[in-house]
Structure 1
Amino acid sequence: MFATPVRLARGQPGFFRRSMDEFKRQAGIAIRLEGLHRPTRAFPLIYFDSPDSPDRCKIMSDATNFGGLSQASLSYVPGAKHREAEDGGRIVGGAGAGANGGTKELEETEEPAHALFKGSISTELPPNRADIQRSGFAAWRTRDRGYSLFGKLLWDIDPFAYLALRIKSDGRKYFVNIQTESIVPTDIHQHLLPTYTTGQWETVIIPFSAFVRTNYGMVVEPQKEMLRQKVRSVGIGLTDRVPGPFELCIADIYATNRPPTREVGREDSGFEFESQGGGMMGEIEPRQKKGEPERILI
């Protein structure tokens, strides 16, 4: 149960450190009586505010999965210190727009400390792999947090309604990915990363209810609500399969109850939904035609 050199090298704390951190977190919730009211402070998922913060993330691409030719890296860029706003949001340096394209309350001029997700997408198929028919993607996600004396470490973001990301985008089509401790391990909840000011720092806020349940990139039915009590990881992927370089800066990702200034819904998720019948019964019971007497199910 002790931390291995590999885990320590990746910036992950040891078993007893994780246990102590989890104890402090749960004790703080009890002392502040957070379970009795709606939280107002931001809940951190990943803050890229230290040189070892990218080590807590895992890089994935067609090159690492099956020998493709895309390249991707996640590196730390030093900058201004992050701090928390009174309304539960995060304030970091960098000139740009406010939440979801709104006006900023404070003027920020310094570049924030952040992680740079950078690389190049190639759609060329790997040689000597006849089983591969499509290529060209890159992504990163937070690593599994391991175990503590309290069991497997998962995020409980059920008291929060929104996911917030402080980013600077190049305008490409990125997706935000959330993985939970689901019955189907390969299920991922995804939403298009909305950007409004390309090349400038901005805070984008996405309702958790707007995320779409997918499996290997395909929409899965039924669309069950995200299991927000047991979140394993959060990350960002680029799957537009457009050859060429990409660059995305990420300062913070956190859960919050601060509503966005611009509404974002499931229709903005980047996925198309076909018009279908009403759930499981619609598959076995045909729709009632106009003028047809009502059928009563017993």
Structure 2
Amino acid sequence: MRPTVQCLAPGGFFSRSLEEFKRLSQFAIKLEGLSSPRKPFPLVRFDTAEDLKQCKKMSDKDIGGFSTVNFDHHPVTQTEPAHARFHGTISTQLPHNQPHVQRTGYAGFRTLEQGRTIFGQSFWDVSLYGYLALQFKSDGRKYFINVQTDSIVPTDIHQHLLHSKTPGEWETVLIKWNEFVRTNHGQVVEPQREMLTQKVRTVGISLIDRIPGPYDLSIGNIWATNATEEDDILQRAPGDLQGLPVGSLRRGDYNRKVGRRDSVQEEPERDITETTR
């Protein structure tokens, strides 16, 4: 069997397998399983326009609705980090020729699944990290962060409100993995099982408030972290910070400790439209 160009290309089967082998080798060499990692674990970066290809955008337009979704790249400037801009218009208008569609008014995006390697299906293992961190600039609307894992129920999605304290300005939020709420087909599910953080399939964001009109959300880095002084992404994070644990340090100022600002405890609505498939 001769390897194809697609297999050898970046993101191809053999390329993914090599990256997974490197990751597992470093894990063994550094004995990372014996202690909590101090460096960040990048999940999503938008450094270049090519990085947008790692994401899939969605809206009710997929079922005949009229909401729009755009996903644009913006390079780094003196005032802003490199980021993706998720924007468009929400419409609750129902399609006339599809009577089975009874609910519209949502949009979202998520990362693509990482594909298979010679070691099997590839996942993000964030079990040694305490937080999901995200850089964003919001218009103040009610967005949700969505995490999909390789759970027994494949349609389960874990969600958390992306709360903005300073709309129109860059912020960084740290969310504990156990603060996410398990949902299925738009409904909160009981019992609330612990998230399978060893096997994270995708990460995404959705807007499901069903309020007609424009929306605009900018996303920088998304990463797993233990909020240490060796997290260079966190140290450079622009704007306000939410969810830092007591004793965390940032921006290289190792003599000044930043007190905890608890991440949002608000529970997601119990009528959550499924937008992550």
**Which 4+ stretches in 1 moved above 3 angstroms?**
1-5
Q: Give 2:24's aligned residue.
A: 26
Give SS of 2:21's match.
helix
Q: Give 1:75's aligned residue.
A: 72
Q: Give 2:235's aligned residue.
A: none
Write the deviation string for residues 105-156 of structure 1: whole angstroms up to 9, x where unpaired: xxxx531110010111000001211111111000100001100111100011
Q: Give 2:154's aligned residue.
A: 185
Give SS of 1:30's match.
helix
Write the deviation string for residues 71-110 of structure 1: whole angstroms up to 9, x where unpaired: 0021111115xxxxxxxxxxxxxxxxxxxxxxxxxxxx53
Give SS of 1:116's match.
strand
Instruction: Go from structure 1 to structure 2 and tell me whether the alpha carbon gap of 1:70 and 1:3 turns closer, same or farther (over 3 Å shift).
Output: farther
Q: Give 1:125's aligned residue.
A: 94
Question: What is the TM-score when the length of structure 1 is the normalising length?
Answer: 0.76
Give SS of 2:190's match.
coil
Write the deviation string for residues 165-188 of structure 1: whole angstroms up to 9, x where unpaired: 000011000000000001111110
2:37 partner amino acid:
P
1:231 partner amino acid:
V
Shift of 1:270: 2.5
Query: Do the aligned residues in 1 keep the contact of 2:149 with 2:195 (CA within 8 Å)?
Result: yes
1:221 corresponds to which of 168, 171, 190 = 190
1:34 partner amino acid:
E
- Matches of 1:153 and 1:76, distance apart in 2: 26
**Is 2:68 aligned against 1:135?**
no
Shift of 1:12: 6.4
- Matches of 1:173 and 1:197, distance apart in 2: 13
Query: Do the aligned residues in 1 keep the contact of 2:61 with 2:67 (CA within 8 Å)?
Result: yes
Structure 2: state its 5+ residue gaps: 228-242, 245-259, 271-277
Q: Give 2:44's aligned residue.
A: 46
Q: Give 2:206's aligned residue.
A: 237
Question: What is the TM-score when the length of structure 2 is the normalising length?
Answer: 0.82
- Matches of 1:189 and 1:46, distance apart in 2: 18
- Matches of 1:3 and 1:191, distance apart in 2: 41
- Matches of 1:271 and 1:262, distance apart in 2: 23
Shift of 1:31: 2.1
- Matches of 1:127 and 1:31, distance apart in 2: 60
Structure 1: state its 5+ residue gaps: 81-108, 273-298
1:270 corresponds to which of 253, 256, 268 = 268
1:192 partner amino acid:
L
Query: Do the aligned residues in 1 keep the contact of 2:181 with 2:268 (CA within 8 Å)?
Result: no
1:230 partner amino acid:
K
Write the deviation string for residues 256-283 of structure 1: whole angstroms up to 9, x where unpaired: 1126131126x423346xxxxxxxxxxx
Write the deviation string for residues 26-77 of structure 1: whole angstroms up to 9, x where unpaired: 112222221111111111111111221111001111002x111000021111
- Matches of 1:48 and 1:250, distance apart in 2: 8
**Is 2:117 aligned against 1:148?**
yes
Higher Cα Rg, which structure: 1
Q: Give 1:277's aligned residue.
A: none
Query: Do the aligned residues in 2 keep the contact of 1:211 with 1:269 (CA within 8 Å)?
Result: no
- Matches of 1:146 and 1:269, distance apart in 2: 32
Q: CA RMSD in A?
A: 2.1
